[in-house]
Amino acid sequence: MGQGRALPGEWQGMALLHSVTFGYAAGIPIVYEASDSSLMQAVRDGDLGGLAVLFERHHRPLFNYFVHVNGNRELSEDLVQDVFFRMLKYRKSYQPERSFTAWMYQIARNAHVDSIGKRKFEVEIGDREFASTNMMDENLKRKQEVALLKRAMARLPLEKRELLVLSRYQNLKYEEIAGILGCDIGAVKVRVYRAVRALGQIYFELAGEKAS
Amino acid sequence: MNCEQARTQFVDYWRGTLEDSAGEFRTHLGSCERCRAEAEELKDLWGTLGTLPEEDPSMGMRVRFYDALRTWRQQEAQRRQPLWWLRHPAFQAACAVLILAVGVGTGYLVRGRDSTEVSQLRGEVYNMRQLVALSLLQQQSASDRLRGVNFAYHVEQSDPQVLGALLTTVNHDPSVNVRLAAVDALRNFSDSPVGRKGVVQALAKQDSPLVQIAILDQIVELHEKSAVPDIQFLLSVQSLNPDVRQRAQWALKQLQ
């Protein structure tokens, strides 16, 4: 359980069964966590307890993905919920040989695109939203760097911002990003490089404005 | 390695996943000032990007998720129950429509099949009314005879026996009220030539002004032009009630 929080009572037993598998190697009991893929297979076969474990593992990174992409906390919470229920709805389409994370982010991207369609306009991320996050014990210079970087991110086009969130913030593998975007690994590398360069241009521009 | 090729390796370089066994990338960076500067500058940015603080979702989000999951599970459990569709509103609505359709259909079938029995019954009721009307018209009491006239309203217009009895009543009943009621009842027989002729002939036999006026009104209502000589005869009577005379003159005008 990623965050050590207790699951609601009714899901605890099921989650324990799913997240931990007991086995024996040379007579010694071994304990290991069930993979995302095997949990999703269990969900696909009608066992909803697996989804509770997947939620505990992934809701926070997923929430951060949405917050970084759209800058809206309430909307991001709704979208996280939406992603997990899309997983339930389309669980039969899950293929275990594919990366679960890639599948999840693919669903997340679709949910995000649909939310834009529903609201008929793209969320404009204000500098305010990015500047207001918690910056507890960092020194002033670091604080300023982070604030500046967030402002720069907010000005980046959506597809570049999303790519940076996936590759850097969520630390997904190239193969996973390639799977999500539907392109090859070489193209992912080039696109990530271009996104970083575009971010750098905005960042240094903002830093220059500030310095002058 | 040229600049273009080197730049595709930048992300691996920043990530520390660069496979540069031949050292081509490092050689290029060593010789190309521009690429080196860009790689180092953006490397810091890449590093900072990885340390952006994480945001925490609200506790409400987990609560909402588990609530929704619970609801989903209940619905799933319902769906898995044998005959779950029996409780589905759509199925119940379909049943209601089907039952209604069967009911209406059966009603039509039953009505068609039993129509002969119903008409037989209706005939029997009619005969009984006819008997009651005829017997009541023979009674001593004026109120009984009035009831008889009322029964005559409910018999078929073509019934000659009841028509005859009503005409007899109009012509001979000692009670003015009964005769007036009988004149009214004769309206039901206006399609019958015998009935119309009976009403006209009754005019000469009346001595009550009320009945005379009632008959005159009915003649006008029926546009019975054959009554003109009878009305003229009535007018020739010297002792005729002035109201009746006036009504008779009006009736003549209406008929001409």
φ/ψ of B234, rounded to 5, equals -60, -40
Beta carbons of A92 and A44 less than 8 angstroms apart: yes
| pLDDT band at residue A20 under the 50/70/90 scheme | low
CA proximity to A64, closest of A105, A92, A102: A105
- At residue B25, the pLDDT reads 87
B10 interfaces chain A, CB cutoff of 8 Å: yes
> What distance in Å separates the CA atoms of residue A95 and residue A93, rounded to the nearest whole number?
6
Instruction: Give the tens place of pLDDT for each residue, A89-148.
Output: 888 888 888 889 989 999 999 998 888 766 544 444 544 444 444 444 446 777 778 888
Beta carbons of A36 and A100 less than 8 angstroms apart: yes
Say whether domain A1-124 belongs to CATH 3.40.605.10.
Answer: no
Of all residues in chain B, the percent with pLDDT exceeding 70 is 96
- At residue A160, the pLDDT reads 92
B-facing residues of A in 112-141 (CB < 8 A) are 133-135
Of B10, B48, B58, the CB nearest to A149: B48
Strand partners, A33: A20
Query: Which are the contacts of A14, defined by CB distance < 8 A and separation ≥ 6?
Result: A47, A48, A49, A50, A52
Instruction: Give the tens place of pLDDT for each residue, B196-213.
Output: 888 888 888 888 888 999
| Residue A160 token pair | 């570049």
Q: Which residue of B has its CA nearest to A77?
A: B61
A1-5, B162-166, B227-231, B243-247: lowest mean pLDDT where? A1-5
Q: Where are the domains of chain A?
A: 1-124, 126-212
Domains and CATH numbers, chain B: 3-46 (no CATH), 118-255 (1.25.10.10)
Instruction: Give the tens place of pLDDT for each residue, B91-115.
Output: 888 999 999 999 998 888 877 666 6
Say whether domain A126-212 belongs to CATH 1.10.1740.10.
Answer: no
B-facing residues of A in 137-196 (CB < 8 A) are 145-146, 149-150, 164, 167-169, 171, 186, 189-190, 192-193, 196
> If you average pLDDT over residues B212-237, what whole number do you get?
89
Instruction: Give the tens place of pLDDT for each residue, B147-187.
Output: 888 877 777 666 788 888 888 888 888 888 889 888 888 88
Distance from CA of B31 to the nearest CA of A (A): 21
| Residue B111 token pair | 């009505």
Residue B56 has what DSSP assignment?
P
> What distance in Å separates the CA atoms of residue B252 and residue B224, rounded to the nearest whole number?
11
- At residue B110, the pLDDT reads 75
> If you average pLDDT over residues B2-25, what whole number do you get?
84
Whole-number average pLDDT of chain A: 79
Environment class of B111 (CB within 10 Å of its CB; exposed 0-12, middle 13-18, buried 19+): exposed
CA proximity to A143, closest of B56, B52, B40, B43: B52
> If you average pLDDT over residues A152-174, what whole number do you get?
89
Distance from CA of B69 to the nearest CA of A (A): 8
| pLDDT band at residue A24 under the 50/70/90 scheme | low
Of A64, A192, A193, the CB nearest to B54: A64
- At residue A118, the pLDDT reads 64
- At residue A2, the pLDDT reads 43
Q: Which residue of B has its CA nearest to A188?
A: B8
Between A185-211 and A174-181, two packed helices, what is the crossing angle to 10 degrees?
Answer: 100
